[in-house]
Amino acid sequence: MLEFVKRKLLNKKWMAVSLLIGNILLVAIASSGPMYSQAALQRMLNRDLNQYIVEEDAYPGAVVLRTAFVGTSTGAKGIEAVANAEERMRQLPEEMNVPALEQVTHYYVTNTKAVPKPAVEEQEEDLNVDLGFYSNIEEHINVTAGQMYAQEPVDGGIVEVMVTERTLVEKNLMLGQELEMSRVEGENGAPMTVRIVGVFENSLEEDPYWQDAPTAWNDTLIMSENNFRTLIADYEAPRCNFQAEFYTVLDHNRMRGDESKEMLAVIQRYEEEFEGLSNKGIQFYCQELLEEYIPQADKLNVTLWVLQVPIFVLLGAFIFMVSQQMLSMEQNEISILKSRGAAKKQILWIYLLQSAVIAVISLLLGIPLAILICQLLGSSNAFLEFVRRTALQVEINPLSLLFAGLAALFSIGAMVLPAVRYANVTIVAHKQRKNKKGRAPWWQKIFLDVVLLAVSVYGLYSFNGQKDFLAQKVADGAALDPLLYFCSSLFIIGSGLFILRIFPLLVRLIFTIGKRWWPPSLYASFLRILRTRNNQGFIMIFLILTMAMGIFSAQAARTINANAEEKIRYATGADIVFQEKWTSNEQAVANDATGTLELTYYEPDFSRYMQIDGVGSVTKVLRNNSVSVSVNEGSISGATLMGINTKEFGETAWFKEQLLPTHWYAYLNAMSQDARGVLVSSNFKELYGYKVGDIITYKNEYGESARGVIYGFVDYWPTYAPVTREISKEGAVKETDNFLIVAHLQQVQSAWGVTPYEVWMKMEGSSQPVYDFVKDTGAWLVLFKDANAQLIDLKNDPMFQGTNGVLTVGFIVVLILCTTGFLIYWILSIQSRALQFGIFRAMGMSMREILAMLLNEQLFISGVSIGAGVLVGNLAARLFVPLIQIAYSAADQVIPLEVVSAQSDSVRLFAVIAGMMILCMVILGWLISKIKISQALKLGED
């Protein structure tokens, strides 16, 4: 049986190769989703965990449990609870499935009184100190003076302790000095006596053992673990109350994002378990990071899958169509087998075995291809654009294998399902069916195209009415409704099928109009197109979908990227925005009892900023968000004043020209005509009836007043948000108007004095010189924004990488399928028409006329399909991309979203399509040139 299947596949090797390509791509795309999601999210988690170390100066994997033994009356029972907590913390790494870097136990008696024996001059009579131990501390310290403490009491019950240098100095202690611990009993029931025998420091500057560096201790005495457990935390007879802290420092580099829920569940279980302990408190340092990671992971997974659905649909349709085409070619063989007594099960078993062979090969080749696809997704920077980036650590996980297996099973079903219908046809029925007039496809009979278009249009209408609700869901961290993506795919597929329905009518109309004048070659080509219209649907729908999905993907990716970039630049205002901390007499004013001293700021040297390498332009921008404005009904508080120098501001700030009715330079030029000229936000006109030429009065938080003449109204301005949205407890969205006044900086300073302002810079290249300037000068910045750094973070975001990558990979997959389908259709068409071409040549038709006939067919089949695909793609982008864009908009999105298309994307798209068609035409021309008339005619006689 296997040998029969092998010969069968080799006999139709091109069809088999096409099926194999479709199956490999299906398996690769299906398994790449879980691989990429895990790898990208893991990279993001690792980055956040490492950033946590820098920002918080602590190890993110630390889990700290704090408890206490309170009340000696509880005796052994209380000690047992503490000991149980210690044991459970020892088991934590195994339950979290993350190895521990360190596990530390710290018992201590807090704030106990120590009486020096003997006291020294200038030393307090009673010292408040902590007395305790750290497990295995000996392996993490260096003794800088004296010696290590003894593990047992010495000299009749004296306990040796060690201190840090800071404790020694600040408590005015000495080596060898003894302290009587008034609240801690010794072995004989009297207060415990301790002796300072050494000074220590941490042996390593960066050591996960230390949650608080010993250099910060100023009141801590450290004794041996054995002495503390024996003398203080005696299991049978504890002598005093004490605190207990258990540190487990998990290796954050070994934390897996896909186990976040399990790790949080363990912490939750521990919290519940330790709820009854005294002074209970368990803290997992990176708990908040993991809690934020989970919704991000869910959102990314949903987004990847809904973006890949159209690809799966196309791949499934491709496999189904190629299988059906292959079965159509083998109908003769199947009918002969059926007529000779072969059972339906036997025929289906042949095709099941054939499908299984293809599926197994697809699994073996598809999974490695999935790893390559993940690397492409990880290096994606925009649509059809890749950059060098740290490679993703891609792993073949169980979920990816599961999806690969499901994809293989689906492909087997898609390949075997068409065989069910063909396996029932005998040779007689086959001949009868061949002589019947071509019938309309099943999808035309049930008006599938109309149904798909109706569903997609209804979905579009419904989602358009819920824009605010969708935006709110996304702002709350949810993924956009997958049905929205499906509606866009349904619209493209439905439009393609509808065009396929009306295509024969268009061809018949053109044929009828020029029927009298067509030369024989074109007459024959039109008849061919009309009589084989059902066979042409395969290639036409793929060409339409290729172009439509390519244009839709390009515009979706370009829109998502462009709007996100513009949002960052608008919110920042310029390439670099920072503000130095100004010195002032603020302290003197606060201490001035007379209240006559005025607050004075000392302005840094502004000329320094203009000398930084790479700075194209720089300007001063004064921002005050606590301005009150006098209006007819009273006053507005909390308005924003922006003091600018019009020329420098226009040269430096980033602003999108289309946001205002005329170029924003016109507003700056108008304002520059008068020192008192101001621009104000449009809500002054809409809510309070202001108009150009009116006088507006505004005050700062100190009551100092200024006036301006309104020279224009603006809906948008760099960094200005017209409204602020807040969500109530009930989930309702409340919008608050923000008011803006843009005035001349010198005019504001003359009225209010010189106050701290922001420095805005436009860079000609990298922003690194600004960082170097801050480092070299030691400038103290209270504000710093780098738009380019934010853009880099955006490009590294798994959501944006995944979206750009999936859209790019999807387009490449569609191109491969289209090229394969195009070649299959025309190669089979040429081979099936060998007799016809031979007859045409024998009748005197030249090779040029035959090529003209094929060119006409190409024009009406491929050309119309490509044109229709361009139309459908652009229409789908205009309708659906604005809604899909909501999924990538930030909650504080200010400037309106718009569909963005770039000519470069179209050029690349058409270049790839043109290259594909040229390649296909070269192959077809070569096939035609190999046809021998004599053999074709002999074939006809046979």
- In this structure, which amino acid lies at residue 826? W
Residue 462's pLDDT is 80
Q: Residue 239 — very low, low, confident or very high, per pLDDT cuts 50/70/90?
A: low
Sequence spans of domains, the chain: 1-58+302-432, 59-284, 582-779
Helix (H, G, I), strand (E, B) or coil at 638: strand
Whether 892 has a pLDDT exceeding 60, the answer reads no
Whether 759 has a pLDDT exceeding 90, the answer reads yes
Helix (H, G, I), strand (E, B) or coil at 441: coil
The answer to whether 362 and 412 have CB atoms below 8 angstroms apart is no
Whether 942 has a pLDDT exceeding 50, the answer reads no
Identify the H or E element spanning 191.
strand 191-202
Whether 447 has a pLDDT exceeding 50, the answer reads yes
Pick the closest to residue 161 from 118, 131, 116, 119 (CA basis): 131
Q: Residue 349 — very low, low, confident or very high, per pLDDT cuts 50/70/90?
A: confident
Is pTM, for the whole model, over 0.85? no
Distance, in Å, from the CA atom of 286 to the CA atom of 265, rounded to the nearest integer, reads 14
DSSP secondary structure letters along 544-582: HHHHHHHHHHHHHHHHHHHHHHHHHHHHH-SSEEEEEPP
In the chain, the percentage of residues whose pLDDT exceeds 70 is 84
Q: What is the 3-state secondary structure (H, E, C) of 261-324?
A: HHHHHHHHHHHHHCCCCCCCEEEECCHHHHHHHHHHHHHHHHHHHHHHHHHHHHHHHHHHHHHH
Residue 364's pLDDT is 92
Helix (H, G, I), strand (E, B) or coil at 894: coil
Residue 8's pLDDT is 67
The answer to whether 65 and 87 have CB atoms below 8 angstroms apart is no
Residue 482's pLDDT is 67
- Among all chains, which residue has been given the structure tokens 């890749």? 386
Distance from chain centroid for Cα 833: 52
Q: Measuring CA to CA, how many Å separate 200 from each of 168, 177, 553, 740?
A: 10, 16, 64, 59
- In this structure, which amino acid lies at residue 32? S
Distance, in Å, from the CA atom of 251 to the CA atom of 53, rounded to the nearest integer, reads 12
Instruction: Give 877-881's long-range contacts (Cβ < 8 A, gap of 24+).
Output: 877/551, 877/552, 877/555, 877/556, 877/559, 877/901, 879/460, 879/488, 879/491, 880/460, 880/484, 880/487, 880/488, 880/491, 880/552, 881/552, 881/555, 881/556, 881/559
The answer to whether 374 and 36 have CB atoms below 8 angstroms apart is yes
**Which two structure tokens, joined as six digits, stand for 199?**
């000074």
Distance, in Å, from the CA atom of 918 to the CA atom of 924, rounded to the nearest integer, reads 10
**103-128, pLDDT tens digit by residue?**
999 998 888 888 887 666 555 567 88
**841-862, pLDDT tens digit by residue?**
777 777 777 777 777 777 777 7
Whether 940 has a pLDDT exceeding 50, the answer reads no
Distance, in Å, from the CA atom of 91 to the CA atom of 95, rounded to the nearest integer, reads 6
**Torsion, Cα of 745, 750, 755, 761 (10° steps):** 20
Distance, in Å, from the CA atom of 211 to the CA atom of 6, rounded to the nearest integer, reads 67
Residue 741's pLDDT is 93
**688-709, pLDDT tens digit by residue?**
888 998 999 999 888 888 999 9
**276-309, pLDDT tens digit by residue?**
666 667 888 888 888 888 888 887 787 777 777 7
The answer to whether 119 and 173 have CB atoms below 8 angstroms apart is no
Distance, in Å, from the CA atom of 353 to the CA atom of 463, rounded to the nearest integer, reads 46
Residue 757 CB contacts under 8 Å (≥ 6 apart), including other chains:
579, 620, 621, 622, 623, 643, 745
Helix (H, G, I), strand (E, B) or coil at 509: helix
Distance, in Å, from the CA atom of 566 to the CA atom of 790, rounded to the nearest integer, reads 11
Whether 939 has a pLDDT exceeding 50, the answer reads no
**Which two structure tokens, joined as six digits, stand for 171?**
């408590």
The answer to whether 254 and 228 have CB atoms below 8 angstroms apart is no
Whether 840 has a pLDDT exceeding 60, the answer reads yes
Distance, in Å, from the CA atom of 490 to the CA atom of 448, rounded to the nearest integer, reads 11
Distance, in Å, from the CA atom of 293 to the CA atom of 286, rounded to the nearest integer, reads 10
Distance, in Å, from the CA atom of 506 to the CA atom of 512, rounded to the nearest integer, reads 10
Helix (H, G, I), strand (E, B) or coil at 755: coil
Mean pLDDT, to the nearest integer, of 711-737?
Answer: 78
Residue 410's pLDDT is 87
Measured over the CA atoms of residue 524, residue 525, residue 526 and residue 530, the dihedral's sign is positive
Residue 30 CB contacts under 8 Å (≥ 6 apart), including other chains:
308, 312, 403, 404, 406, 407
Residue 941's pLDDT is 46
Q: Measuring CA to CA, how many Å separate 927 from each of 51, 532, 535, 932?
A: 61, 21, 20, 11
Distance, in Å, from the CA atom of 816 to the CA atom of 26, rounded to the nearest integer, reads 12
Task: Kindly state the DSSP code that residue 784 receives in the 8-state scheme.
Answer: E
Helix (H, G, I), strand (E, B) or coil at 788: helix
Largest Cα–Cα distance of the chain, in whole Å? 128
Residues 622-633 as b or e (16 or more Cβ within 10 Å = b): bbbeebbbebee
**776-807, pLDDT tens digit by residue?**
888 888 899 999 998 888 887 787 877 778 87
Helix (H, G, I), strand (E, B) or coil at 346: helix
The answer to whether 212 and 57 have CB atoms below 8 angstroms apart is no
The torsion angles phi and psi of 516, rounded to 5 degrees, stand at: -75, -20
Residue 363's pLDDT is 92
Whether 867 has a pLDDT exceeding 90, the answer reads no
Distance, in Å, from the CA atom of 928 to the CA atom of 922, rounded to the nearest integer, reads 10
Residue 282's pLDDT is 84
**199-218, pLDDT tens digit by residue?**
999 988 888 888 888 888 88
Lowest mean pLDDT among 82-91, 417-426, 567-576: 417-426
The torsion angles phi and psi of 593, rounded to 5 degrees, stand at: -75, -25
Distance, in Å, from the CA atom of 323 to the CA atom of 2, rounded to the nearest integer, reads 19
Q: Residue 2 — very low, low, confident or very high, per pLDDT cuts 50/70/90?
A: low
The torsion angles phi and psi of 757, rounded to 5 degrees, stand at: -125, 165
Q: Measuring CA to CA, how many Å separate 232 from each of 79, 80, 126, 132, 240?
A: 11, 14, 21, 10, 7
Mean pLDDT, to the nearest integer, of 16-32?
Answer: 87
Lowest mean pLDDT among 229-238, 345-354, 501-510, 874-883: 229-238
Average model confidence (pLDDT) across the chain: 81
Distance, in Å, from the CA atom of 827 to the CA atom of 938, rounded to the nearest integer, reads 21
Residue 195's pLDDT is 92
Cα radius of gyration (the chain): 39
**566-623, pLDDT tens digit by residue?**
888 999 999 999 999 888 887 777 776 676 777 788 888 888 898 888 899 999 999 9
